[in-house]
Amino acid sequence: MEPLPHWTEPTATGLTFGWRNDVSGKEFAHLMAVRQPETSLATADSESLKWRVVCHYLVDLVSDEGLRELADCLKDNLEFYQTPATPTPQLAGSHSVRVKLGEKYDRPAFQFVQE
């Protein structure tokens, strides 16, 4: 499966990436546009943008048979790299609960038998 040529088009308001590819007998055209990039594509700030374009392009090249496995891998990566939710602060309770402590006992010593 040979993808058709891709194109890059800088504009006054941003940058546009696009490509076309034959997938399952149908031509898919993809267009990604970034509005008013604050930095040029030669800077380190744009590294994530470059990788997003590469990932979209690679997903487009996967055969129909590999899509389910790819979706599972992407889901796993999303869960792994997802930023953890901010924990909800615990508020001090305004009521108290009486408890009864259980009986105290000594735990037997752990013995290790070497053979």
Instruction: Read off the pLDDT of residues 83-110 as tens digits, 9 standing for 90 and up.
Output: 777 776 776 667 777 888 888 888 888 8
SS3 content of the chain, % helix, strand, coil (to 5): 30, 20, 50
Q: Is 104 helix (H, G, I), strand (E, B) or coil?
A: coil
Determine the pLDDT at residue 115. 73
pTM: 0.52
Token pair recorded at residue 29 = 């055209």
Helix (H, G, I), strand (E, B) or coil at 58: helix
Structure tokens at 37: 């990039």
pLDDT greater than 90 at residue 113: no
Could you tell me which of 17, 15, 19 has the C-alpha nearest to residue 5? Answer: 19
**76 pLDDT tier (thresholds 50, 70, 90):** very high
pLDDT in tens, 7-57: 555 555 667 778 888 777 888 888 877 766 555 656 665 777 778 888 888
